[in-house]
Structure 1
């Protein structure tokens, strides 16, 4: 492969993703694409993004699970009020469900507590996509890099770390990682890592961490990092 290219936190921004892959001149037969998760929620085209991600994986892309896929799985499989509200009400899952052609009335849950009932959603593609995100890995390790959505636990061996940690960890990883391999991750907007709300560029930590979540769905940018050559592509 000529290049390894990493992208993270697409969040339903289909137009940005397609423009970014074009800007990077991504070629499936020559480049290794690594997608770090958070394909859904908040943006307008989550269903369409997942369709494209599935196609990209068939072409050879490495595809990881993000915390928003975790939220989706928990909401749709546990059918619990807390999980449903955490995804649909607070984290943009409503935008994901609407992208499947459902209407607001179709995604209204009923009742609270013991009386809570999820809506019955007639969308075969939604359930097909649920199976897809359930099948995704949580990290990929090469000779020089670790690719992960949230980060790694500095106190645990990578292969012993709970998947939840790999998708959700923030500060302990940002401040405590001291490994030799570079960790490429998303999840935390780079504006937070830079300490500058206007700086959405890739973040290079002094402790071998590289954050690439440019906050695209919040008005920032979608980044693609060519880790082979140290080149960054982005679209706004």
Structure 2
């Protein structure tokens, strides 16, 4: 039986494939020995969302646990639901960069949705089907992994998917559970005025370093609580 030496957690890559690869190199990720959790938001805003999804899918095939983020949720609603309002919402949150990485323009997609004539490239369609299959949380004996957080007032079975993908303040302020919740979604700069991993006093750990906003891409190692990060420089290289 395989023995896992480390649990590793990364979130909110947002199309930044160079940072993602640099961080994986820095932590010396070994799929045979480590269990990697990816907490969503592979797409939008960064330079190459398509490549981040490709990397996440490859990592999944070698054992990584891949979860859905709210940006995948927006992408799914825009392209599968084919609703112009959903397309506009996605566009306002970085959807144009995602479509561009697949060779499409947000304006043309909006028009095609409006006219009922949207046809997607096979590669994008395949990635969308993968997104639809993603789980919204995972858990071990001691940890709960999720993109945004949990509703402290509800049981998991009574919680809708949107909560796991979008919740903020009620979770930060109200969670008092026994399991440590590891989450992304909210840049840690908004939680403790630094891009470093946030260790909350109420058993929550936020790892979104806001890399796409000029912060850093973080990785949390468990159970040691060791943290790693890469920071983008102006020349598009990364500090280690």
Shorter-normalised TM-score: what interval?
Answer: over 0.9
Question: In structure 2, which of residues 185, 188, 199 is the aligned counterpart of residue 187 of structure 1?
Answer: 185
Asked whether the equivalents of residues 108 and 118 of structure 1 are also in contact (C-alpha less than 8 Å), the reply is no
Partner of 2:104: 102
Report the TM-score, using the length of structure 2 for normalisation. 0.91
Q: Counterpart in 2 of 1:55?
A: 58
Task: Evaluate the alpha carbon distance shift between residue 104 and residue 150 of structure 1 in structure 2; reply closer, same or farther with a 3 A threshold.
Answer: closer
Kindly report which structure 2 residues correspond to 1:77-156, keeping only aligned pairs within 5 A, or say none: 77-88=80-91, 90-103=92-105, 106-109=108-111, 116-117=114-115, 120-156=118-154
Structure 2 residue matching 1:20: 3-state secondary structure: helix
RMSD (Å), alpha carbons: 1.5
Tell whether 2:202 aligns with 1:204.
no
Deviation of 1:152 (Å): 0.4
Unaligned runs of 5+ in 1: none
Selected match of 1:21 from 17, 21, 24: 24
Does structure 2 retain, via aligned residues, the 8 Å contact 1:191–1:200? yes
Provide the residue aligned with 2:230 in structure 1.
235
Runs of 5+ consecutive residues of structure 2 not aligned to the other structure: 232-240
Pairwise CA distance, 1:43: 0.4
Aligned length: 228
Aligned to 2:214: 219
Equivalent-residue separation in structure 1 for 2:102 and 2:18 (angstroms): 17
- For normalisation by structure 1, the TM-score amounts to 0.93
Question: 2-side partners of 1:77 and 1:87: how far apart?
Answer: 12
**Pair 122,139 (structure 1): closer, same or farther in 2 beyond 3 Å:** closer
Superposed, which structure 2 residues align to 1:150-169 within 5 Å?
150-169=148-167
Classify 1:122/1:140 alpha carbon distance in 2 versus 1 (closer, same or farther; 3 Å): closer
- Is 1:11 the counterpart of 2:14? The answer is yes
| 1:171 matched to 2:169 | yes
